[in-house]
Amino acid sequence: MNISVVIPLYNEQESISELVAWIAKVMYDNNFTYEIIVVDDGSTDGSWDEIHKLTEEYGSIRAIRFRRNYGKSAALFCGFREAEGDVVFTMDADLQDSPDEIPAMYKMIVSDGFDLVSGWKKERHDPITKTIPSKFYNWVGRVTTGIGLHDMNCGLKAYRRDVVKSIEVYGEMHRYIPVLAKQAGFGRIGEKVVVHRARKYGKTKFGIERFINGFLDLMSILFMTKFGKKPMHLFGTLGVFVFLLGFFAAATVGAIKLISLSRGIAAPLVTSSPYFYLALTCMILGTQLFLTGFLGELVSRSSTDRNDYQIKETL
């Protein structure tokens, strides 16, 4: 099978039939063998009834329905698990992603050798309250991860099948799937400018909290990427540095007291100096950071996947 299209969906009753018909036309025009996997993320409208009709009309559709709303990452994880195509596409169900982009992105995977191709909505039909924060987070993502994508969270992406079978999307990490792919050893990540269409039905399902969650998710994935299997390297280093800073500060306060006494100069008690308490606080924090790294190391070494590595091939 050439292509699997995974569509996470939440309350998109009006748009799903139009999207499926559009995808089917593109596949027919390009002689692709394909499947469409729709994941209903606990919709409360008539989305599932519409999906049920589509599965009877199109033999290439499979559908998964959650009992409640788990989020986009959960929907993608289940869709990836079921996908059987050589190239796996993801797109949102709101008709803002154009299926006409599929042939060119498919060629970039199959012919040009990319592991992942992400869409870039260079011209967006979204309010400024959404575009400005998105540009900022994408800039931060490029700087911190070294992945030169302008639109890391674009819903329209194409993957080599090995990629989606090698990564685990959880929490709200769907925003940073390219980072997960790079962490798994898939470094050929490309980008294609795609058409972004104005929303035709309904309204966006994401609120202002996604910006806070996006930043926290980025911090989490950066930590897990660099220190997930070696937490002592981060917490231990910070702990030793902070402890030594406090130790030398306390030693300095004590030395000043001793020098003053040796010269017959009256000096206040060491404990009356605010610097002593700052130094003591640093020593306590340093000890706690070091112990955090030690405990993290114990957890990491006890993990069942501590030696789970991505092997490309063997001879």
For the chain, give every domain's residue range.
3-227, 231-302
Lowest pLDDT segment from 88-97, 115-124, 264-273:
264-273
Q: How many CB atoms lie within 10 A of CB 280?
A: 16
Q: Over 60: is that where the pLDDT of 35 sits?
A: yes
What is the spatial distance between Cα 74 and Cα 114, in angstroms, rounded to a whole number?
A: 25
Residue 116: phi and psi, rounded to 5, are -145, 135
pLDDT at residue number 304: 63
Residue 111: phi and psi, rounded to 5, are -95, -40
Q: How many helices (H) and strands (E) does the chain have?
A: 10, 7
Task: Report the CATH superfamily, name and number, of domain 3-227.
Answer: Spore Coat Polysaccharide Biosynthesis Protein SpsA; Chain A (3.90.550.10)
Greater pLDDT, 127 or 24? 24
pLDDT at residue number 299: 79
pLDDT at residue number 281: 93
Asked if residue 99 lies in contact with residue 197, where contact means CB atoms within 8 angstroms, the answer is no
Q: What is the arithmetic mean of pLDDT over 106-121?
A: 95
By percentage, how much of the chain surpasses pLDDT 90?
50
Residue 35 forms beta bridges with which residues?
A: 4
By percentage, how much of the chain surpasses pLDDT 70?
90
Phi-psi region of 128 (alpha: psi -120 to 50; beta: other; left: phi over 0): alpha
pTM score: 0.76
What is the spatial distance between Cα 5 and Cα 87, in angstroms, rounded to a whole number?
A: 9
Instruction: Kindly give, in sequence order, each residue whose CB lies less than 8 Å from that of residue 243, ignoring residues fewer than 6 positions away.
Output: 282, 283, 285, 286, 287, 290
pLDDT at residue number 223: 76
Q: What is the arithmetic mean of pLDDT over 94-118?
A: 95
